């Protein structure tokens, strides 16, 4: 079994992006800028945002975090987004989720200019992705896609099973695999026989949020298995795939931690740079 090393792949991607930022700087005399809006004091969100800021600085992006208290009014956030939409030094805007209950997530997502939507959540980007047009692509599925492609460049005709149908992971992942000419099955909590579906797959992407759901005898020999899950358990952080069992069967598998996670942030930087490049055309 080959371990797909997301930490290494993310470091390589960051190194490429760093070079690209340096080139953009010498060509345009400015660098792409990422602005993150963080509302409230949820510890995981604070950690994610700190890591995003650190990685953005590392590759040479201009990075800014705007913080609001939990009690901030929706109107204030929407006005700030409008201001950032028209700020030429801001290439990408990300509003860290989850939001406090009194703020309408969809309104916030739709307020972001689609050309600065580095999370790829705006309906315009969702539609463009599913139509096969250029768009921002949600960072986690983009990271999964790049890991799969790095391991196997030609996915023509492969049978892929995506476990989970969230807007964040499962649905965009399905679109990316379709674009690569895979035959894709999207499965979810109401799927009748998940094991039987997985046993058909050359590629499995598990994005569920249930610790070690995908077992060793669900995976055929030579399958590529991508584990998106991050689940806190008594034995520490585990994925949605039973690593020990599946590693005995699969051709390739991502570990948790050290698999998809590091690629997610690297892809956020990539999306910011791509938004900048599109704005310079
Ligand atoms: P979600 O809760 O929005 O969606 C979960 C999906 O799993 C749903 O579509 C649901 O139908 C499906 N599901 C639930 N029970 C199922 C079952 N028994 N069988 C089959 N499908 C089932 O979750 P999400 O936001 O997509 O996140 C999924 C996991 O990925 C979580 O563990 C989350 O922490 C992790 N995650 C990781 C990263 C990363 O960077 N690695 C990023 C985002 C999310």
With respect to residue 9, please indicate whether it lies within any of the assigned structural domains: no
Q: Which domain holds residue 154?
A: 139-260
**In a mutational test of the pocket of ligand 1, which residue from 42, 48, 166 has the highest number of ligand atoms less than 8 Å from its CB?**
166
Residue 124 is predicted with a pLDDT of 98
**In a mutational test of the pocket of ligand 1, which residue from 7, 230, 263 has the highest number of ligand atoms less than 8 Å from its CB?**
230
Check pLDDT > 80 for residue 168: yes
With respect to residue 60, please indicate whether it lies within any of the assigned structural domains: yes
Nearest residue CA, atom 43 of ligand 1? 140
With respect to residue 270, please indicate whether it lies within any of the assigned structural domains: no
148 and 108 within one domain: no
The per-residue pLDDT for range 153-162, each reduced to its tens digit, is 999 999 999 9
The count of other CB atoms within 10 Å of the CB of residue 42 is 16
82 pocket-lining for ligand 1 (C-beta < 6 Å): no
Residue 281 is predicted with a pLDDT of 76
Check pLDDT > 80 for residue 117: yes
Q: SS3 of 121, please?
A: coil
With respect to residue 223, please indicate whether it lies within any of the assigned structural domains: yes
The CA distance from 76 to 277, in Å, is: 29
Ligand 1 mean position, distance from CA 163 (Å): 8
Cβ burial of 51 (10 Å; 0-12, 13-18, 19+) is middle
Ligand 1 mean position, distance from CA 184 (Å): 17
With respect to residue 239, please indicate whether it lies within any of the assigned structural domains: yes
CATH number reported for the structural domain that contains residue 218 in this entry: 3.40.50.720
Pick the catalytic residue from 113, 116, 117, 119.
Answer: 119
The CA distance from 16 to 24, in Å, is: 12
The CA distance from 220 to 223, in Å, is: 6
Peptide bond before residue 94 is cis, with ω within 30 degrees of 0:
no
Nearest residue CA, atom 42 of ligand 1? 140
- Give me the residue label for tokens 């660098």: 31
The CA distance from 163 to 177, in Å, is: 13
Q: 41: Cβ–Cβ under 8 A, 6 or more apart, which residues?
A: 70
Nearest residue CA, atom 18 of ligand 1? 189
Q: How many domains does the chain have?
A: 2
189 pocket-lining for ligand 1 (C-beta < 6 Å): yes
Considering only the C-alpha atoms of the chain, give the largest distance between any 2 of them, rounded to a whole number of Å.
Answer: 56
Pick the catalytic residue from 52, 62, 158, 171.
Answer: 52
* Cβ(77)–Cβ(37) below 8 Å: yes
Q: 173: Cβ–Cβ under 8 A, 6 or more apart, which residues?
A: 141, 144, 145, 162, 205, 207
191 and 106 within one domain: no
120 pocket-lining for ligand 1 (C-beta < 6 Å): no
146 and 111 within one domain: no
108 and 143 within one domain: no
Instruction: Average the pLDDT over 179-203 and give the result.
Output: 98
CATH number reported for the structural domain that contains residue 83 in this entry: 3.40.50.10860
With respect to residue 61, please indicate whether it lies within any of the assigned structural domains: yes
Percentage of the chain beyond pLDDT 90 is 100
Taking CA atoms, 101 is separated from 39, 167, 171, in Å, by: 11, 19, 24
Residue 107 is predicted with a pLDDT of 98
196 and 105 within one domain: no
Instruction: Average the pLDDT over 114-118 and give the result.
Output: 98
* Cβ(139)–Cβ(265) below 8 Å: yes
Ligand 1 mean position, distance from CA 143 (Å): 15
Give the pLDDT band (50/70/90) at residue 198.
very high
The per-residue pLDDT for range 220-269, each reduced to its tens digit, is 999 999 999 999 999 999 999 999 999 999 999 999 999 999 999 999 99
196 and 147 within one domain: yes
Give the pLDDT band (50/70/90) at residue 278.
very high
191 pocket-lining for ligand 1 (C-beta < 6 Å): yes
256 pocket-lining for ligand 1 (C-beta < 6 Å): no
With respect to residue 67, please indicate whether it lies within any of the assigned structural domains: yes
Active site includes 52?
yes
With respect to residue 189, please indicate whether it lies within any of the assigned structural domains: yes
85 and 159 within one domain: no
């Amino acid at each position: 079994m080959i371990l797909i090393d997301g930490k290494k792949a993310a470091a390589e991607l960051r190194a490429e992006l760093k070079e690209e930022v340096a080139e953009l700087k010498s060509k345009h005399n400015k660098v792409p800028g990422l602005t993150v809006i963080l509302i409230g004091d949820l510890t995981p969100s604070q950690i994610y945002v700190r890591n995003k800021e650190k990685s953005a600085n590392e590759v040479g992006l201009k990075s800014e975090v705007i913080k609001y208290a939990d009690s901030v009014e929706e109107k204030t956030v929407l006005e700030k987004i409008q201001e950032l939409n028209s700020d030429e030094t801001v290439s990408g805007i990300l509003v860290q989720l989850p939001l406090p209950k009194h703020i309408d997530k969809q309104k916030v997502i739709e307020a972001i200019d689609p050309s600065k939507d580095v999370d790829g959540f705006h309906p315009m980007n969702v539609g463009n992705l599913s139509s096969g047009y250029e768009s921002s692509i949600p960072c986690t599925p983009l990271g999964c896609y790049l890991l799969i492609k790095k391991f196997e460049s030609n996915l023509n005709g492969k049978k892929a099973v995506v476990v989970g149908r969230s807007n964040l992971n499962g649905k965009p992942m399905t679109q990316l695999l379709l674009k690569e000419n895979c035959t894709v099955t999207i499965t979810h909590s109401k799927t009748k026989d998940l094991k039987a579906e997985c046993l058909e797959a050359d590629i499995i992407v598990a994005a569920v949020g249930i610790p070690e759901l995908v077992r060793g005898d669900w995976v055929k020999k030579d399958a590529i298995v991508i584990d998106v899950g991050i689940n806190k358990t008594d034995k520490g952080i585990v994925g949605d795939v039973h690593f020990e069992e599946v590693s005995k069967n699969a051709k390739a598998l991502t570990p948790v931690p050290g698999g998809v996670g590091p690629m997610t942030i690297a892809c956020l930087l990539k999306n910011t740079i791509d938004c900048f490049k599109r704005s310079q055309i």
